[in-house]
Amino acid sequence: MRVLFVCLGNICRSPTAEGILRHKLEEAGLAGRVTIDSCGTGDWHVGKAPDRRATAAAASRGIDLSAIRARQLDRADFERFDYLLAMDHGNLADLSAMRPKGCDAHVGLFLDFAGREGEAVPDPYYGAEDGFGEVLDLVEAAADGLVEDLRKRLGAAS
């Protein structure tokens, strides 16, 4: 299975989701069975590390984002990934507009996996420091749901 997280610039929400899912899959014993990546719909931050506030917030919960570098969504990602998970409705609209005909990947909002259908992970970039903690809370809840979904699709025991 292959999972791609998508946000606007790939320096806050999507790298946070990538790091958290990687950590949770390791805890679940599924790390070797799932490939995880993240990207942005825009190209402003390509090649840059995640925002220092996102990195610090993740580190406070034992998640290391230091190896992640921003990249832009590519049309080929629709063939490479089984899940393309958007952080908000704008990202989802961008994914939907780029989605090739016949693509059978799951394209949707990440928070759907937290039982929060139709809700978005807020962008903390222009807000206060506590916004990054809120993002972590939301992403952790959604990652738990995604791990369960992946476990079922992979036929792995709980």
The CATH number of whichever domain residue 51 belongs to comes to 3.40.50.2300
| Enzyme catalytic residues | 7, 13, 123
pLDDT, position 127: 84
List pLDDT tens digits, range 119-137. 999 999 988 888 999 999 9
- 139 backbone dihedrals φ, ψ, rounded to 5°: -65, -40
Q: Does residue 157 carry a pLDDT above 80?
A: no
pTM for this entry:
0.96
Residue 158 lies in a domain: no
Q: What is the pLDDT of residues 59-113, one digit of tens each?
A: 999 999 999 999 999 999 999 999 999 999 999 999 999 999 999 999 999 999 9
Confidence of residue 33 (pLDDT cuts 50, 70, 90): very high
Task: Note whether residue 56 is domain-resident.
Answer: yes
pLDDT at 158: 61
> Which residue is it, tokens 């679940």?
28
pLDDT the model gives residue 128: 80
The answer to whether position 97 is within a domain reads yes
Total domains in the chain come to 1
CA-closest candidate to residue 113, choices 138, 92, 79: 138
Both tokens of residue 34? 């799932």
Q: Which domain holds residue 128?
A: 2-153
